[in-house]
Amino acid sequence: MDNVITATNLTKQFGHFTAVDQISFEVERGEIFGFLGANGAGKTTAMRMLCGLSKPTSGIGTVAGFDIHTQTEKVKKNIGYMSQKFSLYDDLKVWENIELFGGIYGMNDQDIKVKTDKLMYELNFEKERNMLVASLPLGFKQKLAFSVAIFHQPQVVFLDEPTGGVDPVTRRMFWEMIYKAAENGITVFVTTHYMDEAEYCNRVSIMVDGRIEALDSPKNLKAHYSAKNMDEVFQKLARKSQRKE
């Protein structure tokens, strides 16, 4: 099996508090993997470890073939990252953002130029190319942020609540971009609070109090918990939480 992410007993403690408690799972190449959990369940901490930003207290993990303890710089080079909170620089133009991120990920100028032209055409963004990101509508920003996150063709892209706040049509168009990226072989690791989006994932894990309480395809999870949708599955599992914030 071609796994892009592996985690074995991955744990993170802050003092006496175990934020992530021995989680183990694999994500296959090209898979859309939904990483769900209530606020405070440990999702962000787990994601930070997988992105090479936070050292695990114990347990092992690899991302894009690199060790998340010892090869964090290589991990960072081979992943893309986007979140609702931070993605692009508002005070740079569209093309400047692309050039900046392309450069950070070590792409050469020629590649950046050719790919920028192609991307502007695909997104139908030729008019916006010279605009400041601050002046773009939110839906445009999100599309651009996602495109920038996968611009260097990473093996895996981490999306941390990417779709908050946009209108229903834009939210769906965004997911169609995610599908397309996955079809092009980019593995997608995504967190969301929209339970209908959980249905779009090949597999979903649900974290409760630092542990992975369930992991399967949405179809199997619904069958297993006799739930009619993922919201019910989530409500059943997350209500078990003992954690007092």
Partner 1 sequence: MVKCIDLHKSYGQTIALQGVSFEVNAGEIFGIIGPDGAGKTTLFRILTTLILANQGSATVNGFDVVKDYREIRKCVGYMPGRFSLYQDLTVEENLEFFATVFNTTVEENYELIKDIYQQIEPFKKRRAGKLSGGMKQKLALSCALIHKPTVLFLDEPTTGVDPVSRKEFWGMLKKLKAQGITILVSTPYMDEASLCDRIALIQKGKFLSIDTPLNIVNQYKNQLWAVRSMNMSKLLNDLRSNKSFENCFAFGDSHHVSIENKKLEIKTLEEYLLKCGHTDIEITEIQPTIEDCFMEISKDTTL
Cβ proximity of 233 and 214 under 8 Å:
yes
Cβ proximity of 190 and 33 under 8 Å:
yes
196 binds partner 1 (CB under 8 A): yes
Distance CA 38, CA 52 (A): 23
Q: Determine the 3-state secondary structure of 122 from DSSP.
A: helix
Cβ proximity of 207 and 46 under 8 Å:
yes
Distance CA 124, CA 133 (A): 15
111 binds partner 1 (CB under 8 A): no
Of residues 70 through 89, those in contact with partner 1 by CB under 8 A are 84
Q: Which residue has the tokens 């405070």?
A: 40
146 binds partner 1 (CB under 8 A): no
> Of 26, 193, 211, 227, which lies in the binding site for partner 1, with binding defined by CB under 8 A?
193
Binding piece for partner 1, criterion CB under 8 A, among 62-70, 111-119, 151-159, 190-198: 190-198
In the complex, minimum distance from the CB of residue 180 to partner 1, in angstroms, rounded to a whole number? 9
DSSP classification of residue 134:
G
> Of 175, 186, 213, 215, which lies in the binding site for partner 1, with binding defined by CB under 8 A?
175
Query: How many residues bind partner 1, per CB under 8 A?
Result: 40
| Residues contributing to the site for partner 1 (CB under 8 A) | 37-40, 84, 137-140, 161, 164-170, 172, 175-176, 179, 183, 193-196, 199-200, 218-219, 229-231, 234-235, 238-239, 241, 244-245
